[in-house]
Structure 1
């Protein structure tokens, strides 16, 4: 950040007085003259450091370690400043993340996030979700789906990065959602905590952690369990999590660390309903036999080293294993007979990667970064048909139905530089060169198909460029402009569908985005932060499923879309200027608005141009108020309000009779209330109510039906700290 001229004023006055004092003293010693006393001048100025600190409550530093984020639109949520989030309630977790759309599927085995109408939120395929800068997707390139999420009690914050996020981290057009793990500080004393929570629908949540430091070592470990009966029959779920962090500092300039993350989740799949079925009985369960299992283990080795002359190195090496299994049979509601068979599916993801970054600060506030990212995935895919409707996910006694070996490889090199220019301007050029290769080899195909076995491989090299321009003005304000390219990787299913009778002659071209963002943010007065911008995104070569006949589907480049609109947020601490703030009391109101106009601008599908893409509501509003007293209380009321939205790109309804699905998901507004009350240094009470008004709604629809969202639900519990 540039130093404000107001911040320099006291220093200039002081230097002028010192310069004037010396000759005055000499004159006084050589002659006796009467002195004239001048009226005092009172100069006021706020430190630029205080302004910077206030901005960092809501956004990332301009140069954050090895990352350059200046001119990129960023939003930071500090979870320590809001009540505890129980059971991965994503609406609460992302309440302060403007524009991020949560499409609810109330099970812990699938997470659906979308942004600015760029794609269907199904499994968050168009959003890059990371933990500590490492992708959480099943396979980042070939199968970028989100089936595992860490519990929020183990996180310190959420970083939302858009406008240049692809140049910073790689594939997916925008944004990056980076979940930051909690870390003990060097010198922190031993701390042990245990959190026990119960709620309706049979909810039980237990989170237990120990952390501290010893000499140059720091450590943190947690173990957690969340179980629920769900709001419908066969909607019960269990999730277990364990984490281990060990850090070692050989000296003040180095840090070595090791991270181990283990997640194991299982859930019943109650199935999807037609709109008439949902109206009659939202608790109906058409698939009482279906079940999903997810396990994910990840090991990370990291190193950070500060060298002389402003050099900083940060490297991460990671390995992950994820097993995604399911048991699925056809849906049937009484008096229809039960299905005669089920499909047991198992997808394994053995992935690993490296991320190496080097940064050098030079000149007056300039910084240069360069780095590389490497990734490899080995992801076998298998299915069996079984007559046992309750077959276990390890049961291999059924008839083989599908067997594929799948591999992905990815490599990227990138560089960015922030140049500080006169008149408090700065410019950030960025470049990234990426290469991917995906391959599928099939040995068993579904018995109802007659096509040849799939043996497909494809490779793509994609250059990306970006440019950011900014200017600091006034008191703690900055105007920013960013234009950047992004893209979506070619997936396994894009090359050839395992369940279609047609193998395309060549894979579709990768989807690419070109985004523009112009905005301004700052802290003009104490306690007030704002960030408002307008955006325009051209998303080309969208890959969509095209029906060849009643049964066959292929993936093709169906067309282009344009998303444009306004996104803004406002945070104001009503007590920031009062004496109560000095004693740690805050009353913060916040609101964000995403106003979106999205349209198809080109399409291979007749009549598609001019239609609105799926999951592109005209507005998405988030608001809330949080009362916080340090070491005493955190109480928050939040709201999420979405306009109506189409659930498929055709903007058409689907089905008839009981399976009828309207073209639009109706508008909805949901309120959540949560609070932490710390009675003393050892005991904290936790309580909350989600969907406070018991709104009956849904915001998730797929081809086979809609998924009812949770009604009013509550929790209460305690946290013990030693």
Structure 2
């Protein structure tokens, strides 16, 4: 496992390089800013301080950490905080001072002005109408500030990180935090592949069109915030049904001076997690680098892992109107996989493992360049270029979990991904009928080349990623070149009486190519080869289409926001559905792309310590791909058949309510040292197949759609220094296949029972130091969230029992 040493060496190289580049630019004149409430002088938490002219975040002010600004020139800043009026101030260049700033609460919700940076932010839980370089008006959005997450960020417990996002179905088959697998509205959570997964606004999945599996996601400690846009994101970011998940990493900040971050964690089952962050921000140049190393033994036998991560960013102010960013991400991990269990084995002892020869590794290299500029008085331009050089290798015994592993040669599946992407956006605001109007247009160009090979490797019990016959095809070998071009446009029409109409359109051109060969052979009962040949395949599938969408919103009294949206979606056939040999299922050779649309209607708002968001949705899915349980006419045995099952309809309600009980009354003059907060997150979903010509699934429940998901949390905090929280999560039962089978001998299909988990969290903060303890699955529930058809199974994948993590942090 030499990749851990490689990532640690890379971290040292980055630090030395940035120091060498930036040493002449260092400045030591600093201004310290503390932000408080004008009404009661309470120190405010997570106040965002922006450079108005550069439209960039400088830092955040907290009760335990002042915002430090380093500048040699005059700086016009803006302070923003939920429920407070924006505050503007000019900082004198070269000064050394401590400023206590006071923000006041608004008498009413302010209206938008022409400049998007002056929109009053009444809640940070969802995106503004214009946020950065995107239009998000009249659609379902969520924003997660990682500083405000009450949960285990050392290993990224997803049910805690996404606790305030309604309707997410989370797979919890790995307690290492190496994977993020979430689905919504009846969509498969596998590798979050039904979302367009991005980092700093560019793609990070294996192939954005043909293989959108997110084998890499950044560690939670490296993330500043997560933006989620539901299915209506298809017009701006791509046609995935689930929407877009965008991870914004900690990065370079101008005028911030020196920044250091040390986070260390130890935990159950041999967990060790170490994160280091280091950076400097001057007037014209800023950099930041963040590294993470993690290892553990896992709670089941044969489940050890080791991972390394580094992200570095260098930012330049090129001129008054133009800025540039260079960044690079490296991610490497290797894990032994204990395999799945049958229902009987899980009931007997979920801690056991009957697979000791399965291993999985991922390597991800992702450089990117971003250029931002202002064009004219009200226009802004952004362009990004990124390259992905990555791969994933899986080795092990792929046979049914009901079969004994006799130690024969193992299957080896190796993928490589070579992608190049470019995306440019222009956003402009103009006046019509004395109201500001907003227009966005963009272009995207993407080329990918995914190579997949499946063959045989040795029979050892150690990790081995070399084929026994590297020059001979003993399974399959395919290349999947792909091309994607897109044009998109959206417009916010602001009408009288606070109404907004947001139409949009996207044109997509997709070309999927398949070039490769596979081996086909038959044997008699004695094992003699009767037929053995290599079959070559080559075909191309170009197609183009338009996606349409329209949104409607209205600002209501008391700061409420009504929104409604309809948008079309599309999902291309996965490369794995074109040619992968798996003994646990068979694939229909006539698969078609999936199409459909999303509809949302909701209302959200916040008022005096209470915040809520309630949405009704409808998802229509045509040509839906899923699994059927069928019988082999010759062998008379059952098998899973992956095909276009037909049309499905999913509808439901997603709701979130958050109450700060000590601020429900009108704002008084007393300073509130205590905070008592309750969070209630409930979603109801009903998904059914509608296919009269296929009675086996007509009217059946859609797989992986729990009828209800409920999460609630209670948090107590004192003086913004001491916090204690508890979270309870419940997920209803769901089926693993479209026929709604309750049981199968191989455990690949069947019922996934309802489960509930209790998590405990406590944190203490002393100026720059912090200590934190997490007890996850505190009641030691026995449960599982997934039945896998292949790696990391097959079979039932048990979730982690009670585990404890202790963390220390030092930020200075």
Give the alignment's TM-score, normalised by structure 2: 0.78
Find 2:782's aligned residue among 681, 696, 703: 696
Bigger Rg over Cα: 1
Q: How do residues 304-319 of structure 1 correspond to structure 2 at under 5 angstroms?
A: 304-319=372-387
Task: Name the CA shift for 1:48/1:409 in 2 (closer, same or farther; >3 Å).
Answer: same
Find 1:686's aligned residue among 772, 777, 787: 772
Correspondence for 2:103: none
Find 2:795's aligned residue among 697, 705, 708: 705
Q: Does 1:81 align with 2:184?
A: no
Q: Deviations over 1:592-617 (max 9, x none)?
A: 21111110012653331100011101
- Partners of 2:356 and 2:461 within 8 A in 1: no
Task: Name the CA shift for 1:370/1:628 in 2 (closer, same or farther; >3 Å).
Answer: farther
Describe the SS at the equivalent of 1:445.
strand
Q: Does 1:535 align with 2:617?
A: yes
The structural deviation recorded for 1:721 is 3.0
- Partners of 1:512 and 1:541 within 8 A in 2: yes
Q: How do residues 206-285 of structure 1 correspond to structure 2 at under 5 angstroms?
A: 206-285=274-353
Find 1:67's aligned residue among 134, 159, 162: 134
Correspondence for 2:626: 544
Task: Name the CA shift for 1:297/1:580 in 2 (closer, same or farther; >3 Å).
Answer: farther
Describe the SS at the equivalent of 1:338.
coil
Task: Name the CA shift for 1:441/1:422 in 2 (closer, same or farther; >3 Å).
Answer: same
- Partners of 2:295 and 2:307 within 8 A in 1: yes
Q: CA–CA distance in 2 between the matches of 1:352 and 1:266?
A: 25
Q: Does 1:568 align with 2:568?
A: no
Q: How do residues 109-124 of structure 1 correspond to structure 2 at under 5 angstroms?
A: 110-118=179-187, 120-124=188-192
Q: Does 1:340 align with 2:411?
A: no
Q: Does 1:299 align with 2:299?
A: no
Q: CA–CA distance in 2 between the matches of 1:274 and 1:376?
A: 41
Q: Does 1:138 align with 2:206?
A: yes
Correspondence for 2:108: 46
The structural deviation recorded for 1:285 is 1.0
Q: Does 1:366 align with 2:433?
A: no
- Greater shift, 408-417 or 447-456, is seen at 447-456
Correspondence for 2:92: none
Describe the SS at the equivalent of 2:344.
helix
Describe the SS at the equivalent of 1:699.
strand
The structural deviation recorded for 1:65 is 2.4
Q: CA–CA distance in 1 between the matches of 2:801 and 2:536?
A: 46
Task: Name the CA shift for 1:199/1:581 in 2 (closer, same or farther; >3 Å).
Answer: farther
Q: Deviations over 1:573-609 (max 9, x none)?
A: 2233566996776433222211111100126533311
Q: Does 1:159 align with 2:233?
A: no
- Greater shift, 44-53 or 78-87, is seen at 44-53
Q: Structure 1: any 5+ residue segments left out of the alignment? A: 1-6, 8-43
Task: Name the CA shift for 1:357/1:629 in 2 (closer, same or farther; >3 Å).
Answer: farther
Q: Deviations over 1:467-520 (max 9, x none)?
A: 101111212112111111111122223445556999977x53321121211111
Find 2:751's aligned residue among 654, 664, 667: 664
Correspondence for 1:412: 486
Correspondence for 1:31: none
Q: CA RMSD in A?
A: 2.8
Q: CA–CA distance in 2 between the matches of 1:606 and 1:423?
A: 50
- Partners of 1:343 and 1:383 within 8 A in 2: yes
Q: Structure 2: any 5+ residue segments left out of the alignment? A: 1-83, 85-105, 113-117, 523-531
Q: Does 1:653 align with 2:742?
A: yes
Find 1:432's aligned residue among 506, 513, 516: 506
Q: Does 1:590 align with 2:590?
A: no
Q: CA–CA distance in 2 between the matches of 1:217 and 1:315?
A: 19
The structural deviation recorded for 1:208 is 0.6
